[in-house]
A and B are shown apart, each in its own frame.
Chain A
Amino acid sequence: MLGQTIADGILTGAIVALGAIGVSFGLQILRFANFAHSELLTWGAYLALVFVSFFGPGTPTGPFTFGWQLVAAMLLAGGLTGLLAWLVDLLVFRPLRARGAPRLSLVFAAFGAALILRHVIVLIWGHGTHAYTRELQIAVEVLPDVRMLPDQLFILGVTVVTVAALHLYLTYSRTGMAMRAMAENPALTRACGVEVEGLVRWTWILSGALAAMAGVFLGLTPQLHPEMGASLLLALFAAAILGGVGSLPGAVVGGLLVGLSENVSTLFVSTGYKTAMPFVLLLLVLFFRPQGLFGRKS
């Protein structure tokens, strides 16, 4: 029972971590709490749905419920969601930045953008649920008494590879280093001749693409609905802050802790309160270690 709960928690945690990376970038590089980030998850999932409805999810490959088409759909949706994130920046956040608006004005604007993004989805696809595929699959026993669906193992595998690649990128590439520099000290980065607007654009595209990936995974386990991203918003913030804002390993560990706490809590309290766990973790960390587990004191 506990083993299964932990496995479920790790799966939720992987998806939360992918989304939390973008939130963490937002808090540290763009310097505001982007309440619209969760809508990028939803958009990513629905954009992939558009491709899937053209090409189909593909004939099930191996133990999975989908073929290469869904993977292609995910990549395309990732690119488009990245562009969408940038477009929102261009229309909403950049004019505010240019005017030197206070950070909280950006948070507000993010609220408005979130409302618009989410309800445009309702406008197009309605309130109901959708699924990429109706194929059924059988859970496999990965450890004694721990069963997971092949699709879930796929999600975990892809997440591990993505996070590893991102880590290498942030550590060794020029842009990655510039992003980390920007997170540490924006003024100094600017003074060193880094073209900040280009970096901001790239941060949005990267955040959007990762969010889309998380959204597709959410849609795969098991379905899509307009509130799917919004219902994770608190978990994303909790993961980003818990791990220590701006730290990639922090966002991943934060995501896992949030996922685990949500699932393990169901052993003790009614499942109705599952989504309150990220808030409890968040309050605890803000009380005792506001810089997060991996963060340094400023």
Chain B
Amino acid sequence: MIGLFSYLVFFACVVLILGIVALGLNLQWGYTGLFNAGVVGFYAIGAYTHAILTAAPKPELIGNLGLPWIVGILGAMAASGLAAWVVGLATIRLRDDYLAIATFGIATVIQLVTLNWEALTGGGNGFSGIPRPLSGWLTTPFSFNLGYLALLAGIVVLVTLALDAMLAAPWGRALRAVREDEQAAVSLGKDATSFRLQAFVLGSMLMGLAGALYVGFIGFVSPFDFLPILTFQVWAMVIVGGSGNNRGALLGTLVVWGLWAASGIAVTKLVPPAYAAQGGAVQVILIGLLLVLSLLFRPGGLLGENSINSKPARD
């Protein structure tokens, strides 16, 4: 019983971390119509930046500065935002699917760097010893997970409320105006490029934040935590939940990650170990099907766009 409960706590932590990534993507895609195909790249930048800033110094690695947790978090967000700014400057004015290609490219490059720049990232072995916040007070693994869950829940609530407030403000309306009809928005004096870039950078910073929270939770970082499949999973979360709706993004995260975890468990229980690779393929095919089928049959997602701000003003 305690085993199941502690699994659920762990599961909930992962859902909340990925929920922050989904909120970031929802800001980019759901509200602004920006196609970021390199979600995992910005998540990985956050994770590695946090790891490099906060881990205890090691003679064989550059970095590992042993800085406080909060510095790692802020540094992670800054690094992901900076990367998004550079990519965005080059591509955000161009045809929309070029942004998809460019962000896909940056994720590939980041993965190569994490694998090859061993002096900074530890290469394929990754590195451990990343300090975990709260672990000074919460000494057993279970109490740590429970405490971390509370911390994550607090951060998710904070992020959601902040996003809701920003999106209800004129800034959010401008984003949607740019998404719906760029020419109209421009003719009303909105700088479409600048609004796009702001949403892209801010969304990527949330992905970086989530990456930092992830390594802070696991205490370990390696390139194999940041495989391209994660990008697709987060996309499925936003599409299934309903893009343009922050609660939809969080609900989608729960549904998709639940399906992924459940199908993973089913595969390990039902498929003989010799066919484990094939079983893993089934899990990925499910994600692909989920994406295609929801686009074909329920393009609005489970919750659909939150249209409160689009209603005519009441007088």
Contacts and interface: CB of A to CB of B under 8 A. Distances in A.
Q: Secondary structure at chain B's binding surface: helix, strand, loop or mixed?
A: helix
Interface string A100-122: 01011101110111111011101
A2 interface: no
B277 to A, nearest CB: 5
B235 A111 contact: yes
Nearest to A108: B295
Q: Secondary structure at chain A's binding surface: helix, strand, loop or mixed?
A: helix
Interface in B270-303: 277-278, 280-282, 284-285, 287-292, 295-296, 299
Contacts of B91: 286
A279 interface: yes
Contacts of B52: none
Interface in B82-102: 87, 90-91, 94, 96-98, 100-102
B157 to A, nearest CB: 29
Interface stretch (B3-11, B105-113, B169-177, B194-202): B105-113
A35 B100 CA distance: 9
Nearest to B34: A104
B104 interface: yes
A105 B296 CA distance: 9
B233 to A, nearest CB: 10
Interface string A255-291: 0000000000000001011011011001100110010
A231 to B, nearest CB: 9
A-B CB proximity, top 5 nearest: A115-B288, A112-B291, A272-B116, A279-B105, A33-B97
Interface of A: 27, 32-33, 35, 92, 95-96, 101, 103-105, 107-109, 111-116, 118-120, 122-123, 126-127, 233-234, 237-238, 241, 270, 272-273, 275-276, 278-279, 282-283, 286-287, 290
Given A115-B284, A275-B108, 15 more contacts: A96-B296, A104-B35, A109-B291, A111-B37, A114-B288, A115-B287, A119-B281, A119-B282, A123-B281, A237-B105, A241-B101, A273-B116, A279-B109, A283-B87, A283-B102
